[in-house]
Amino acid sequence: MTTIGDGVLDFSPRRTGAMMLRYWYLLRSSWPRLLDLVYWPTVQMVTWGFLQFYIVQNAGFFAQAAGIFIGAVLLWDILFRGQLGFSISFMEEMWARNIGNLMMSPLRPFEFISALMVMSIVRLAIGTVPVTFLAIAFFGFNLYSLGLALVAFFLNLMLTAWAVGIFVSGLVLRNGLGAENLAWSVMFLFMPLTCVYYPVATLPAWLQPVSWALPPTYVFEGMRALLIQHTFRPDLMLDALALNVVFFAAGVFGFLKLLQSARRHGSLIQAGE
């Protein structure tokens, strides 16, 4: 028995573009949405920036490793905002009661997911790029000085963000907007476990394997290696990439299964609370 259906794997750039256009129209029409994209990353960066500024003046270690807090904040924002950007674009359809229109159109799940992935980058760029320039202006921390390492960090963080975003979207599709809070909170579970602000060695021994099972852990360790020891660790990036392939595949698989379950349980007819 075919479980996912004929033509599900077809891909049309036109249909994907239609969905990107839909989200672009929405962003363009709503200044509060645009402001929201910039507001929190700015507040967070400034707060942590001043904290680091204070610590640097009082501790020799941090004076040598200037930028690890701001760097961690900016990379964490890529992870968190990347997932949130994906999930919010998806939930815009639920809030607008438009998901039924999309599900009965020729739009394929992979096209929908692709559009959401691209839009999460657009939203992230709008929110985070200005903040990276503020970090240069306020604290002299230039994220772009990380060079090619930044590309590796970004790619790995976005893959994790998308994997989680895809799975959470599936949960919302299956369970309605009652599952909406997951979109806002699920990534915070990653924060202590992926060791955003401290090395993995800080965790108790029994928790460290859990931490190493999460791709962002390798990115944050890699960032500290770069800023403290001035060494880029490609091995960490490759490990993260391998784990991300598994996470992404699991996210897509989960989404398709939840979509299938939504069809069985009639959730697509009553997409609401």
Partner 1 sequence: MHAPAPPIAIERLVKIYKTVPAVDGISFTLTPGSVTGLLGGNGAGKTTTIASIMGLTTPTSGQVTVLGAEMPRQRYRVLHRMNFESPYVAMPMRLTIRQNLTVFGMLYGVPDLAARIKQLGAELDLTDLLDRQTGKLSDGQKTRVALAKGLINAPELLLLDEPTASLDPDTADWVRGRLERYRRERNATMLIASHNMAEVERLCDRVIIMKRGHIEDDDTPVKLLARYGRRTLEEVFLDVARGRGIEREAAQ
Is 98 among the residues that bind partner 1 (CB under 8 A)? Answer: yes
* The amino acid at 125: A
From the list 47, 64, 101, 145, which residue makes contact with partner 1 (rule: CB under 8 A)?
101
Residues 105-164 that bind partner 1 (CB under 8 A): 105-108
Record the tokens describing residue 192, joined without a space. 């202590």
Closest CA to 210 of 186, 193, 235: 193
Whichever of 180 and 239 has its CB closer to partner 1, that residue is 180
Element (H, E) at 136: helix 109-139
Q: With CB under 8 A, what is the number of residues at the site for partner 1? A: 38
Residue 48 in contact with residue 144, Cβ under 8 Å?
no
**Segment interacting with partner 1, rule: CB under 8 A, options 42-50, 55-63, 104-112, 128-136:** 104-112
Three-state secondary structure string covering 43-93: HHHHHHHHHHHHHHHHCHHHHHCCCHHHHHHHHHHHHHHHHHHHHHHHHHH
d(CA 251, CA 230) in angstroms, rounded, equals 34
Residue 140 in contact with residue 90, Cβ under 8 Å?
no
Closest CA to 239 of 214, 207, 203: 214
Is 209 among the residues that bind partner 1 (CB under 8 A)? Answer: no
Minimum CB separation of residue 222 from partner 1 in Å reads: 40
Whichever of 12 and 64 has its CB closer to partner 1, that residue is 12
Minimum CB separation of residue 127 from partner 1 in Å reads: 19
Minimum CB separation of residue 255 from partner 1 in Å reads: 16
Whichever of 5 and 147 has its CB closer to partner 1, that residue is 5
From the list 63, 64, 97, 189, which residue makes contact with partner 1 (rule: CB under 8 A)?
97
Closest CA to 181 of 67, 57, 273: 273
Residue window 11-50: x/- pattern of binding to partner 1, with contact defined by CB under 8 A: -x-xx-xxx-xx--xx--xx--------------------
**Segment interacting with partner 1, rule: CB under 8 A, options 69-77, 202-210, 234-242, 256-264:** 256-264
From the list 72, 91, 103, 131, which residue makes contact with partner 1 (rule: CB under 8 A)?
103
Helical segments of 96-108, H only: 99-103
Is 253 among the residues that bind partner 1 (CB under 8 A)? Answer: no
* The amino acid at 35: L
Provide the 10 A C-beta neighbour count for residue 66: 18
Whichever of 52 and 89 has its CB closer to partner 1, that residue is 89
d(CA 215, CA 237) in angstroms, rounded, equals 9
Whichever of 25 and 133 has its CB closer to partner 1, that residue is 25
The binding site for partner 1 (CB under 8 A) comprises: 2, 5-8, 10, 12, 14-15, 17-19, 21-22, 25-26, 29-30, 92, 96-98, 100-108, 260, 263-266, 268-269
